[in-house]
């Protein structure tokens, strides 16, 4: 076949070759099955025995293939308490059983797995009892990342819009492949498919070690290679492979194989990237928002000291609060009774984490041009002690924003560093290395190695925060139309700009000019590298970073004075509970001149 041709039927021998090469040549990045991690969640798994055409319950270390697909809205056969015993009988899932009206995608996957010489398939619709008790369902959801990571490979049904579409190219499939459905771009992840837009399929793709994607053509994605049907024989590539793979896998742009790059240390940028991707996806049932992300949350929770609290790493809490709406989404909608307004989990719509966090924590983006990777352009200073509230609201527990404590280690050349860390002097700025990490990963300060079992997600706390913070009132001076969603200028009593707010919801845009807004300051920041600040932040988004202009009217002199500002929340009220409506900045001199009063806030 030429590089743009493929046949009407999938070449199964080619798939077998892909898997064989991956298994023998790609090392632990692709071949670690994470069975111990899975067994910590589930001792046994229910699987489809494709040879006996029934369900079987086996030890969770049993090799199996997984299926990722779009459910759709139509009624379909599934495992329930009422039929689970019957479905364990040989032949109960066969085409000859009129009671088992299995969707075409699942039926084709069963056939494909058998033809590839495998015996077991895991598919959620059949292998999870859909009306099981809440505790059992919750345990399965938390194990989802491990289930897909432990699979030998995952079949990703990226064609079609529901479970009845089938796997085109499989002998006997309800769908036949046609030439006009075959894309011309080699090795392309199906990012524009309905499958890639759904919330549930996000972690299924992300944690799978290998993806066999059906999207017009069949493509193999793993931690080391991408192959598709138009590729030459991958066996001929073995002479080209390096004897040692790089520490980071090559396919970082593809959401697959997350377990192989799971960080030992708190990685704010990696968590931000996951949040941004997941928040852009859609769900048929909005109350599934937490459930569809539960596996990813459970896994990443263990990488952060103090864990995750309603989607924000507690270790970096002051920085994590600074998320914003994504530039192209324009407006968010509140998720009623699902999450707090102060967290991205409380809003529907794509959010921006990495660009919003990057000014305050070097390394969110890896630029690979020196000190910018380990030295932030601004230094964030917490000014608020946040408290978590128990479910009853009775007990208050402080949020441990420990990154500040660890950051202080860089300012003391004689400080005793945590085990495994070394300081490296540099003419631009010192950086730190961790002994078990790639030496190319340089850090601004030492970070703690988390204990995965140390903290439960959210603990036994409500989503209310309580804290004391300075509160002041300013006026909106109008709205600025920018690529960075909706930005409102904040003006002082003289009508001069002193700050700006990025509004979160379209409903707040009407008639804001001239109206007043209540603001609370949640952190202070000082610009530590003015040239970088102007080049990287102000020049790209002057409306939200026009701090020099805001401060000049209050006596700031560039070149001699320290440039500083406050991160502020615009808040509204629901009775005695405040809620987040927007996030922005106010120049430090301008804010200090307001005489803000400290108040106790309950933020929901």
Name the pTM for this structure.
0.89
Stretch 111-132: mean pLDDT, rounded?
A: 97
> If pLDDT is split at 50, 70 and 90, which confidence band does 459 have?
confident
| For residue 240, pLDDT beyond 50 | no
Cα–Cα separations (whole angstroms), residue 74 to 77, 355, 453, 538, 579? 10, 39, 40, 50, 38
Residue 586 structure tokens: 């106010």
| For residue 22, pLDDT beyond 60 | yes
| CA–CA separation, 409 and 519 (whole Å) | 33
| For residue 315, pLDDT beyond 50 | yes
Cα–Cα separations (whole angstroms), residue 336 to 215, 493, 509? 36, 36, 20
Among 63-72, 322-331, 419-428, 448-457, top mean pLDDT goes to 63-72
- C-beta of residue 121 within 8 angstroms of C-beta of residue 67: yes
Q: What is the mean pLDDT of the chain?
A: 88
Stretch 510-536: mean pLDDT, rounded?
A: 89
C-alpha of 583 from chain center: 21
| CA–CA separation, 287 and 340 (whole Å) | 14
Q: Which of 370, 406, 401, 316 is nearest to 529 (CA)?
A: 370
| Of 173 and 488, the one with more pLDDT | 488
Q: Could you report the per-residue pLDDT of 327-374, keeping only the tens digit for each? A: 655 578 888 778 899 999 999 999 999 999 999 998 887 666 577 788
- C-beta of residue 225 within 8 angstroms of C-beta of residue 236: no
| For residue 1, pLDDT beyond 90 | no
> If pLDDT is split at 50, 70 and 90, which confidence band does 241 have?
very low
Beta-carbon-side half-sphere exposure of residue 232 (alpha carbons within 13 Å): 4
> If pLDDT is split at 50, 70 and 90, which confidence band does 482 have?
low
| CA–CA separation, 229 and 10 (whole Å) | 8
Can you give the residue ranges of every domain in the chain? 12-261, 461-603
> If pLDDT is split at 50, 70 and 90, which confidence band does 4 have?
very low
> If pLDDT is split at 50, 70 and 90, which confidence band does 284 have?
confident
- C-beta of residue 303 within 8 angstroms of C-beta of residue 263: yes
What phi and psi values does residue 374 have, to the nearest 5 degrees? -135, 5
């Amino acid at each position: 076949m030429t590089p743009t041709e493929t046949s009407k039927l999938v070449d199964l021998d080619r798939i077998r070759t892909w898997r064989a090469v991956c298994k023998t040549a790609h090392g632990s990045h692709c071949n670690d099955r994470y069975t111990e991690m899975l067994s910590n969640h589930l001792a046994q798994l229910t699987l489809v025995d494709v040879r006996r055409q029934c369900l079987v319950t086996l030890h969770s270390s049993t090799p199996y293939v997984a299926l990722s697909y779009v459910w759709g809205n139509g009624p379909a056969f599934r495992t329930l308490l009422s039929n689970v015993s019957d479905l364990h009988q040989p032949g109960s899932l066969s085409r000859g059983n009129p009671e088992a009206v299995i969707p075409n995608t699942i039926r084709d996957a069963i056939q494909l797995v058998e033809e590839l010489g495998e015996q077991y398939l895991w598919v959620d619709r059949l292998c999870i009892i859909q009306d099981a008790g809440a505790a059992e369902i919750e345990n399965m959801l938390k194990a989802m990342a491990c289930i897909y990571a432990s699979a030998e490979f995952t079949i990703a049904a990226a064609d079609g819009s529901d479970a009845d579409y089938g796997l085109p190219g499989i002998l006997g499939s309800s769908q036949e492949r046609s030439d006009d459905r075959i894309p011309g771009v080699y090795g392309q992840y199906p990012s524009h498919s309905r499958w890639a837009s759904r919330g549930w399929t996000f972690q299924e793709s992300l944690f799978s070690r290998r993806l066999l994607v059906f999207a017009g053509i069949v493509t193999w994605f793993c931690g080391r290679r991408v192959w598709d049907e138009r590729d030459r024989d991958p066996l001929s590539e073995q002479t080209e492979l390096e004897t040692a793979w790089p520490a980071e896998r090559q396919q970082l742009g593809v959401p697959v194989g997350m377990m192989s790059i799971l960080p030992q240390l708190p990685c704010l940028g990696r968590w931000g990237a996951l949040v941004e991707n997941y928040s852009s996806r859609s769900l048929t049932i909005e109350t599934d928002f937490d459930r569809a992300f539960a596996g990813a949350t459970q896994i990443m929770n263990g990488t952060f000291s103090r864990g995750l609290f309603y989607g924000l790493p507690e270790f970096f809490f002051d920085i994590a609060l600074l998320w914003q709406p994504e530039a192209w989404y324009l407006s968010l909608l509140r998720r009623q009774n699902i999450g707090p307004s102060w967290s991205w989990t409380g809003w529907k719509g794509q959010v921006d984490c990495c660009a919003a966090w990057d000014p305050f924590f070097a390394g969110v983006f890896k630029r690979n041009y020196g000190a910018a990777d380990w030295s932030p352009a601004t230094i964030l200073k917490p000014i608020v002690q946040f408290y978590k509230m128990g479910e009853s609201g009775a007990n208050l527990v402080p949020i441990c924003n420990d990154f500040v404590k660890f950051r202080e280690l860089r300012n003391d050349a004689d400080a005793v560093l945590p085990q495994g860390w070394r300081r490296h002097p540099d003419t631009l700025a010192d950086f730190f290395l961790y002994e078990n990490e790639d030496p190319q990963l340089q850090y601004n300060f030492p970070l703690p190695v988390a204990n995965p079992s140390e903290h439960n997600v959210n603990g036994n706390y409500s989503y209310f925060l309580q804290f004391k913070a300075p509160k002041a009132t300013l006026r909106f001076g109008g709205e600025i139309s920018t690529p960075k969603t909706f930005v409102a200028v904040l003006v002082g009593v003289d009508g001069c700009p002193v700050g700006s707010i990025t509004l979160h919801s379209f409903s707040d845009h009407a008639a804001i000019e001239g109206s007043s807004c209540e603001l609370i300051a949640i952190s202070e920041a000082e610009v530590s590298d003015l040239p970088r600040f102007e080049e990287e932040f102000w020049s790209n988004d002057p409306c939200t970073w026009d701090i020099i202009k805001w401060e000049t009217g209050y006596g700031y002199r560039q070149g001699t004075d320290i440039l500083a500002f406050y991160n502020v929340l615009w808040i509204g009220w629901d009775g005695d509970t405040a809620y987040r409506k927007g996030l922005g900045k106010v120049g430090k001199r301008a804010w200090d001149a307001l005489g803000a009063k400290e108040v106790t806030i309950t933020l929901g």
